[in-house]
Amino acid sequence: MEKPPLPRTWMGPIVMGMENLSPRDLRDLIRSGKWRKPTSGACTGYVQANLVMLPQEYAFHFLLFCVRNPKPCPILDVLEPGHVSPRIATGADIRTDLPKYRVYEYGKMKAEVDDVSDLFHEGMVSFLLGCSFSFENALMRAGVPVRNVEEGKNVSMYITNRNCTPSGPFSCPLVVTMRPMSPAHAIRATQITTRFHLTHGAPIHMGDPTEIGIADLDHPDFGDPVTIKEQEIPVFWACGVTAILAATSEKIPLAITHSPGHMFVSDLKDEDLTLL
Amino acid sequence: MEKPPLPRTWMGPIVMGMENLSPRDLRDLIRSGKWRKPTSGACTGYVQANLVMLPQEYAFHFLLFCVRNPKPCPILDVLEPGHVSPRIATGADIRTDLPKYRVYEYGKMKAEVDDVSDLFHEGMVSFLLGCSFSFENALMRAGVPVRNVEEGKNVSMYITNRNCTPSGPFSCPLVVTMRPMSPAHAIRATQITTRFHLTHGAPIHMGDPTEIGIADLDHPDFGDPVTIKEQEIPVFWACGVTAILAATSEKIPLAITHSPGHMFVSDLKDEDLTLL
């Protein structure tokens, strides 16, 4: 399987001073071509989302794939065919308001562009899916250290031996992120992320990585390895890259996604995504 | 708006002695024509589901309607077009394993039948949605009295002034159930039902019914009125009848649903639906 390029989950220094930008201001900057950088770290406290656009004839089965695999593919918003304004972002245009997009044909990346207006048509359906930025912020606020953030690295991601529940042409293994933690922090992190059921929710596994088919934590499939200290256990969460893998398979003639780290920034606040 | 006939939410005496039947045994009885009664009260502890079947061309927008309105329309299972075996019920056949079905054309009920094999075709998509039996059992186990059960009545249901988020041709007001409770029980019930996010979750309102457009609690739109004692407050939950209203509108050429009270009984246990 071809690996998608690295998502950047922490781009703090790049956007220093931009934490307090409003989502609408950021989207305006992006649309006018003044922001082509990753969005990680911008608009702190607001929900960022993965984007998948597909032709209408694949929309039912992709929506069903997300419904059947809610932990890796939590649905924040789905636009009607041909619609461009998400309900979760006032005045936004999904064709222009992400800093970078990728265009895939039959599983091959064909282009990376900063505007997809010319590719978008009446039959395109856009899906916005939750990402883990929201719960990482919540973990840090609760005093649970997040190693990839501490080390200024991309989070470690692994392809597991667990298959997602397929739907029509969509089928792929579950991809997870891993954050090493003390057992006490792993318990607290489980409590905190359980609340965030629209951004991957509780961990799917902790402890022995071989149980989910991961041979070597030092060699993630995507992202960077991080330090695992003594007495720490690896804690694994379902990862939104799963949805990207499913949408960009060789069975799908056209899929448009965000470029890794270049997310859609919504008007939702992280706390809007909590269950309790 | 034409009111659908009354769902029966409590048919205890009818199925006395059948609480311990396994879901598979019950489905076998139904399929062989030996059970044509409501399913309420049978197979205690197992999840029962609302059924909606629609032609494939309406499947995306109905699935999206459910995703956009998760409290009234919690998705338990969606079958691929033409498939008849739900994932949540081993060996089941969705065409024969409900005791009674209703067939709607352009919003008008055309037939009530006990087998839809002749109407089912390769392009039909079946949706199984959560119902409130699961959380009613949990409330009673926790010592929270459920008035409609105590009084052997159908739960009171009301059409509210809140509109569901529409999706394509699917659009209707939110329907709610009401259970009167002491404030202390209302708090406990909120905690308990929050866990059951796949069977309507936490209440959507409590207290003044006029705030959600209900003029008179003694005259429910569907179901029976129940006694409201002094010091009790009405507690309102989103209701699965909402999904039936949406699917059986005049815009939809064909919809098949369960007959009220004649649900699909799955192999899932109530506790499988809890978040925490």
Q: Which two tokens stand for residue A39?
A: 């969005």
What's CA B54's distance to the chain center, in Å? 17
Does B78 reach chain A within 8 Å, measured CB to CB? yes
A76-134 pLDDT, tens digit per residue, is 999 999 999 999 999 999 999 999 999 999 999 999 999 999 999 999 999 999 998 88
Q: Are residues B92 and B167 in the same domain?
A: no
Residue B7 lies in a domain: no
Residue A1 lies in a domain: no
Write out the residue range of the structural domain in which residue B156 sits. Answer: 142-242
Taking the CA of residue B102 and the nearest CA in chain A, the distance in Å comes to: 25
Q: Are residues B235 and B256 in the same domain?
A: no
Residue A10 has pLDDT above 70, yes or no: no
Q: Are residues B128 and B16 in the same domain?
A: yes
Q: Do A78 and B59 touch (CB under 8 A)?
A: no
Q: Are residues A67 and A26 in the same domain?
A: yes
Contacts of A87 in chain B (CB under 8 A): 165
Bridge partners of B46, per DSSP, are B269
Please name the helix (run of DSSP H) or strand (run of DSSP E) that holds residue A52, with its range, or none. strand A46-55
Q: Do A67 and B64 touch (CB under 8 A)?
A: no
Q: Which two tokens stand for residue A36?
A: 């082509």
Q: Are residues A165 and A256 in the same domain?
A: no
Contacts of B168 in chain A (CB under 8 A): 80
Taking the CA of residue A239 and the nearest CA in chain B, the distance in Å comes to: 19
Residue B6 lies in a domain: no
Instruction: Name the residue of chain B whose CA is nearest to A62's CA.
Output: B60
Q: Are residues A27 and A122 in the same domain?
A: yes
Q: What are phi and psi of B154, to 5 degrees?
A: -70, 145
Rounded CA gap, A222 and A225, in Å?
A: 9
CATH at residue B110:
3.40.1640.10
Contact status, residue B262 vs residue B6, Cβ threshold 8 Å:
no
Q: Are residues B224 and B265 in the same domain?
A: no
Burial class (CB in 10 A: 0-12, 13-18, 19+), A3: exposed
Q: Are residues B100 and B49 in the same domain?
A: yes
Residue B212 has a pLDDT of: 97
Q: Are residues B71 and B203 in the same domain?
A: no
CATH at residue B201:
3.30.2040.10
More confident residue, A153 or A258: A258
- For this complex, say whether ipTM is above 0.85: no
The domain tally of chain A equals 2
Using DSSP bridges, classify how beta strands B46-55 and B264-269 pair: parallel, antiparallel or unpaired.
Answer: antiparallel
Q: Do B275 and A197 touch (CB under 8 A)?
A: yes
Contact status, residue B262 vs residue B85, Cβ threshold 8 Å:
no
Taking the CA of residue B59 and the nearest CA in chain A, the distance in Å comes to: 7
B169-188 pLDDT, tens digit per residue, is 999 999 999 999 999 999 99
Q: Are residues A159 and A233 in the same domain?
A: yes
Sign of CA dihedral B106, B122, A77, B195: positive
Contacts of B59 in chain A (CB under 8 A): 60
Residues of chain B with pLDDT under 70: 1-19, 275-276
Interface of A with B in 138-157 (CB under 8 A): none
Contacts of B80 in chain A (CB under 8 A): 64, 167-168
Instruction: Name the residue of chain A whose CA is nearest to B88's CA.
Output: A68
Residue A24 lies in a domain: yes
Residue B39 lies in a domain: yes
Residue A3 lies in a domain: no
Residue A139 lies in a domain: no
Residue A2 has pLDDT above 60, yes or no: no
Does A123 reach chain B within 8 Å, measured CB to CB? no
Q: Are residues B107 and B238 in the same domain?
A: no
Does B60 reach chain A within 8 Å, measured CB to CB? yes
Residue A17: pLDDT band (50, 70, 90) is low
Rounded CA gap, B107 and B103, in Å?
A: 9
Residue B276 has a pLDDT of: 64
Mean pLDDT over each residue of chain A, to the nearest integer: 91
Q: Are residues A123 and A171 in the same domain?
A: no
Residue B47 lies in a domain: yes
pTM for the structure as a whole? 0.86
